[in-house]
Structure 1
């Protein structure tokens, strides 16, 4: 399993955004990352300052979402939909898309993924894939 460090994740998103802005060739997940970043203008200034991005702390006390966590969850959701893993996630996403735009549908799934990760961490166990998919299906109304 790929388990990048905090610094590697931040560098990845900063580099993908830099390449996108310079119209350089994007490779692999950079394509998806740049597209996700384009939909989050609130993160552009941070990503355009890699030194700040690497050192800035994001805690619940500041009241702001960690942009790298948010973008990473988006990237995970995009990958899950593309490979239909867990099985059924693509159909639930398509059901969400009947009433939401792409970004809003991804956010609905992202909420379920975040909750599932939080529960696994809180209980010190594995992620419950069935509960995750049930949450997405409920959000989709299926």
Structure 2
């Protein structure tokens, strides 16, 4: 299983962004990441800042960690591409009926964050069913 360090993840994003800005050839994963980076111009400064690789982004200071956010976008894109957990692709399609693709991804991201946080807090395994249930509840919300 691929388990990169915090520094490796951050370098992946900053290097992919640099390659994009220099019109370099991107790998498929880098291309997917850059697509999400382009949808988040508020993160461009951090992606171009060499010190961001070591920076902290405390929630208490009202900061969103751009690397965590982009990593979650990539994780969700991968989940959707392979329908894992089974049913996420159908739930995503239903979300798309009332949301644009980026908003739908953010809805799923909130659910993913909640389930991961709960599993860590309780020391329990990640719940695929709990994750899908949270996503399905959002389908009917406007």
**TM-score, with length taken from structure 2:** 0.95
> After superposition, where does 1:116-131 map in structure 2 within 5 Å?
116-131=115-130
Per-residue deviation, 1:60: 2.2
SS of aligned partner of 1:64: coil
SS at match of 1:68: helix
Partner of 1:33: 33
Q: Which runs of 4+ in 1 moved over 4 A?
A: none
CA separation in 1, counterparts of 2:25 and 2:95?
32
Partners of 1:95 and 1:120 in 2: how far apart? 26
RMSD: 1.2
1:126 positional shift: 1.0
SS in 2 for 1:131: helix
In structure 2, C-alpha distance between the alignment counterparts of 1:129 and 1:122, rounded to whole Å = 16
What's 1:48 paired with?
48
Matched, 1:80 2:84: no
Distance across 2 between alignment mates of 1:18 and 1:123: 39
- The answer for the alignment partner of 2:60 in structure 1 is 61
* Cα distance in 1 between the residues matched to 2:65 and 2:45: 14
What residue is the counterpart of 1:105 in the other structure? 104
Range with greater deviation from structure 2 (61-70 or 1-10): 61-70
Mean Cα deviation higher: 17-26 or 113-122 = 17-26
Looking at structure 2, the residues matched to 33 and 20 of structure 1 have their Cα atoms a distance apart, in angstroms, of 10
Query: In 2, distance between residues paired with 1:5 and 1:129?
Result: 24
Give the deviation of 1:105 after TM superposition: 0.5
Count of residue pairs brought into register by the alignment: 141
CA distance in 1, matches of 2:8, 2:103: 27
SS at match of 2:99: coil
